[in-house]
């Protein structure tokens, strides 16, 4: 590059500085791509966790409804037994 044409210490140092700058730019680009991939994985894991949570909430809701229905049936049975005239 420049140092091959000018063949001076200043040109050699400038060439080294340019190469270091390109290496740093490449490192930053790779780091950005890695961070983008990590963010994508985090979003996917979050979506999966939210799906599992939603499923658990649906199951819990279903359980509570069944439990409430059973409680109401027991209450109706008790009231029926209490209000029934003795035979």
The model carries a pTM of 0.50
Question: What contacts 18, CB < 8 A, 6 or more positions away?
Answer: 1, 2
Domain of 76 in residue numbering reads as 2-83
Nearest 5°: CA angle at 47, between 46 and 51? 115
Which pLDDT tens digit goes with each residue over 48-76? 999 999 999 888 888 888 888 888 888 88
Evaluate if residue 15 carries a pLDDT over 60: yes
User: How many folded domains does the chain comprise?
Assistant: 1
At residue 72, the pLDDT reads 87
């Amino acid at each position: 590059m420049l140092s091959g044409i000018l063949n001076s210490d200043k040109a050699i140092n400038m060439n080294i500085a340019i190469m270091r700058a390109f290496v740093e730019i490449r490192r930053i680009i790779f780091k950005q791509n890695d961070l983008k991939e990590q963010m994508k994985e985090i979003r996917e894991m979050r979506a999966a966790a939210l799906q599992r949570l939603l499923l658990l909430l649906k199951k819990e809701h279903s359980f509570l409804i069944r439990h409430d229905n059973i409680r109401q049936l027991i209450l109706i049975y008790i009231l029926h037994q209490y209000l029934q005239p003795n035979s």
